[in-house]
Amino acid sequence: MSGPWPVQLSGLSGARRAPCSRELLQEHRSVFGFSVSHTTRDAWSGEENGKDYYFVSREVMQRDMAEGGFIEHAEFSGNLDGTIKAAVQAVQARNRICVLDVNLQGVRDIRKTDLRPIYIFVQPPSLDVLEQRLRRRNTETEESLAKRLASARVDLESSKEQGLFDLVIINDNLGTAYQTLEEALAEEIKKVQRTSCP
């Protein structure tokens, strides 16, 4: 794939990586573009099809996966999630840094491609804080919350794997976490701005 190298943001559900990526896209809208993922889960309140996710049936997603249309995909809590190649290529074609928001399995899948993104993991300060955040969202049943927390423990351990991530951001304060993210990407931002100048 040609164009600026992507930024791959990963993290636990409730680690608040989405607000970090939204801020990045708002402050530097001429530099970054978001790759909208596909999912088979139902939309949460306020989510929009084509903006937050492409909400598709399991049959459609499995067909596209079988045809090799995805650069990464995974199953979590009975739902499939993934990123199609065309979504990344569309952002790169506009000379923008594609922001990918994927889970740990997606990270491992992308490492097998020619994308070569900057790998960043966003995590909460503790599992207790994560549980509080997830409960405040009020989007989980007790059963799904227990599954998320069990998965979070595993992902936190996996995130420590040598060479898996270029940067780990502990999101204790959203403003500080975003500043760390922006500083880490400052050189890439400048590169795109230079090549975008007439």
- Per-residue pLDDT at 49 exceeds 80: yes
Q: Give the C-alpha separation, 182 to 189, whole Å.
A: 9
Average pLDDT over residues 35-45: 91
Domain assignment present for 87: yes
Domain assignment present for 197: no
* CATH number, domain with residue 146: 3.40.50.300
Domain that residue 112 falls in? 7-192
Q: How many domains does the chain have?
A: 1
Domain assignment present for 1: no
Domain assignment present for 198: no
Could you report the per-residue pLDDT of 55-114, keeping only the tens digit for each? 999 999 999 999 988 999 988 778 999 999 888 988 998 999 999 988 888 898 899 888
Q: Are 71 and 85 within 8 A, CB to CB?
A: yes
3-state secondary structure of 123: strand
3-state secondary structure of 88: helix
3-state secondary structure of 139: coil
Could you report the per-residue pLDDT of 116-172, keeping only the tens digit for each? 899 999 988 888 888 888 888 877 788 888 888 888 888 888 888 888 999 999 888
Domain assignment present for 21: yes
Q: Give the C-alpha separation, 95 to 31, whole Å.
A: 8
Better pLDDT: 196 or 174? 174
Predicted pLDDT at 197: 59
